[in-house]
Amino acid sequence: MHKPFIAGNWKMNTTADEAIKLVRSLKDLTKDVKDVRVAVCPPFPYLPLVAEVLKGSPIHLGAQNLFWEDHGAFTGETSSHMLKDVGCQYVIIGHSERRQYFSETDSTVNRKIKAALNADLNPIFCVGETLKERESDRTLYVIRSQLQNGLQDIGKNGIQKITIAYEPVWAIGTGKTATKEQAEDVHYFIREWIEEHYSAASAENLCIQYGGSVKPANAKELLSQPNIDGALVGGASLKADDFAEIIKKSL
């Protein structure tokens, strides 16, 4: 069984000084933690600064997005090779906020996953339903569609590098959290889908994170579920003490 994987999505937060202070504190608070994979995903401008602080640390660096082309006249975009060049190992793709505010689709998510894999980056591929979709019992339909379209033409070698993050949109930034049973049900469905479309080994080795208002208070019960392998943490990852506590509760 793989190690738990806890990733912090800082979103559009921190200054340069705050980013450096946060990651220094996190390094210190987690220096004795051995059996958890940890990543932080700062805003683009601070990736090189955070990479420098993380040197010699087991904490990995991730980005919050990328563009699917390698280079060219794409003003304001950042390529997978640029992320690799500044030290990233992970990249979040298809976060619900990207879908909601920046018109990302399953098709663009698929192109971004392929670009990340081509640059030897590890995608954290986000899936999840809205409140309206959950209330109309369409959760599994939505997740199935996002998996099918987002992973189109991704082979067995590619799926080995992908983490899937289930993030119920209605539980992001709202203070609401899926119950452990609700979260586990969807994680189980995702693993079954991967087994059906790839293999039992792919499904077993797949890391599925939960990403919906994970906090120190609810981390233990969520992370103790059999198919929840980690967490994609938003607001709580901006506080070193809280994020370190979540990391420790994943053991």
- Please tell me which residue in 60, 95, 184, 187 is annotated as part of the active site: 95
The region that residue 142 occupies, defined by phi over 0 for left and psi between -120 and 50 for alpha, beta otherwise, is alpha
192 has catalytic annotation: no
Rounded Cα distance, 194 and 216, in Å = 30
- Please tell me which residue in 104, 133, 167, 184 is annotated as part of the active site: 167
Nearest to 130 by CA among 142, 122, 121, 119: 142
CA distance to 163, 167, 222, 236, per residue, from 212 (Å): 16, 5, 10, 11
167 has catalytic annotation: yes
Q: CA angle, 213 as apex, 149 and 53 as ends, to 5°?
A: 90
Positions marked catalytic: 95, 167
